Every structure is written in structure tokens, then in C-alpha cells.
Homo-oligomer: A and B are copies of this chain.
């Protein structure tokens, strides 16, 4: 390795790196090829002074912080397959997934890290599309990508690329949101239709067996949650029903808060093509993953104000009340079905759709 270079007294002629249109193992070396990949592809997408500093950690100032602020910290790995599907891709998912986890505790999302595991042989044009999506989603949400990392594994040791994101946000001292805070009397609001994301990914896998027009709902929900918090700092619970669907999220909340939750099935919006797809495949849309929806538990007196604030935002137009919290049946979710009966709605058991996010 050393002998390539002339002694110091001689001329220094660095060899230009050959053009690459696929990821090779050398892109994970930490040396010149890694630097080249980062400078050429990652930096232009995510440029900001904290990332550009190029040190081992990004260094950020929290101007707005006081001793009363709390920091929200979250992480998600993304292994969705295929990488692209109607309405989104792994890049948009990786940013929105973590932005939404921060938003669900009422935090203002501030900083994001991104770790990439790339498979040898990946088209760099695919990476570029994903980075562009991440850039767009970060801009839409207002989060800054401040630190990153890239590793490369041999062909057959990943599936194109996997992305981990971790995020940090600040929580206003007046806000105390937790899955453990649901109270009897709270109403349950859902921000829109369920099942869109999961069915969109199935469609991209050609597993529907018929043509449909279903787009994933992937979206950053922080502007929606901030609008809600402006009219009601006393939101008790928020959660985005991703893997496991609405049914699983509601069960988590019922257990954490030790309350009963009663949901009226006919009030849960399901788009007709999603309903048809679920019917044909034998799925219940209440268990299908969403990536741009939230459920919120709030004191009933705020219902109109909060609903109005939600319906005024891009991703909350179809917000609606779907149920309420009761003291009976602690830890359980009860579903009033369209047929007039009431049954227990349990968490997802087993695996419905692998690699949905």
C-alpha cells in the first residue's frame, strides 16, 4: 500500500478514483472510496454545517433549552421490501418513521442521524433516489440530518440497503404525553384511514393478485401534532399505528394505562380499495401497518378544538372520533362491530407481513 506513493522529495500525483456506478466493498473501507461516496452522494443531499464538520460526532447547540425541557430520543431500523412502492420508498420511511416517533411524545423534531447498510452491487442510482427522498422528507418535517454512517456488506448479506435513523427533539414543559396516560372519559381520535401503507407494499410485491391504486400514507406527522398541541397541550396519549396496525397500538395503550378502550368499527375509515384487498386476502385492516396516521387520546372537552385543528392540516383532513376510554375491562380493547356485537380486539399474534417497514 505504501509503495504506491513516491518519496516526499518526488512529485505527488494522486491517482483519480475510477468512476463507479455500483456499490463495491471498498465503499465501506473508511478510506478514499468511502470519502468519495460521502462527498459525492451523501453530503450534497444532506448538507448543513453540523454534518459538514466531519468530526466523529455532530455538535449542536440547543438554543431553546432550559432545565425544564425534556429531550425525546428514538430509533428505528428500516428493512422494507421492495425499496420503492406506490406513495413512498425506504428513504421517506426512514425519515418519517423516526420523526413520527418523536412527534408522538409531543416533541419538536430537531436532529436526525442516519446509518446505512449497503449491499455490494447496489446501483448507486438507487442510493441517489433514496437519498433524495430522505432530503425531501427531512425538509418537509424540518428535521436536520446531522450525523451519518455507511457500511457495506457482501452480495447476499443484505437486500439492497437498510437504513437506521435515530432522532432527537425537545418537549415543551407543559406537554406530558405517554401511552400510560389514557383516562376513562378520554375520546379516541384517528387521523385518517387505516391499512394504506401495508397494502401499498403488498401491491408493489405483486402479492395482491389484482391491480389496485393504493398509495402508502407515509408522511411526517409533526406539523399535525404541533397543531394539536397548540390548541390542547393536555393531550394524554398519541401513537402512530405502524407494525401490528391500529389494533396492536390500542392494545399497548390499554395495557400501559390499565384502562379499557371501546372502538366503534364503523367509525374507523378504510379506503374502498384497501377494504377490498383485505377482504380478498383474508386480512383485517385493523392489523395492517400505517406510516402516516396517529391515534390521540384527549379529554372530551377538547374534542371539537382538536378535531378542527387536525382537519386544517395536510395529513389530518379525515380525522375522526373512533371511540373512548372506559374504566371497565382494564387492559383490553373492545370492538363494537358493524353487526352490533362487541368483541375483544387483541394484539397481532404471529407475523402478518414481514418487512413492511
Contact = CB atoms under 8 A, between A and B. Distances in A.
Interface of A: 1-2, 4-8, 12, 14-15, 17, 24-26, 28-35, 53-63, 65, 67, 69-79, 100-102, 104-105, 107, 111, 113-117, 146-154, 156-159, 162, 164, 166-169, 171, 177-180, 239-240, 242-244, 248, 252, 256, 283-284, 287, 289, 329, 332, 334, 341-352, 354-355, 357
A239 B111 CA distance: 23
A1 B169 contact: no
Copies per assembly: 2
Nearest to A332: B12
A105 B55 contact: yes
A115 B166 contact: yes
A218 to B, nearest CB: 16
A55 B351 contact: no
A115 B98 CA distance: 12
Contacts of A29: 243-244, 348, 350-352, 354
Q: Select the residue from A79, A100, A101, A342 with max chain B CB neighbours within 10 A.
A: A79
B354 A25 contact: yes
Contact of A342 (B7, B345, B348): B7
A352 B151 CA distance: 14
B344 A77 contact: no
Contacts of A114: 75
A244 B72 CA distance: 34
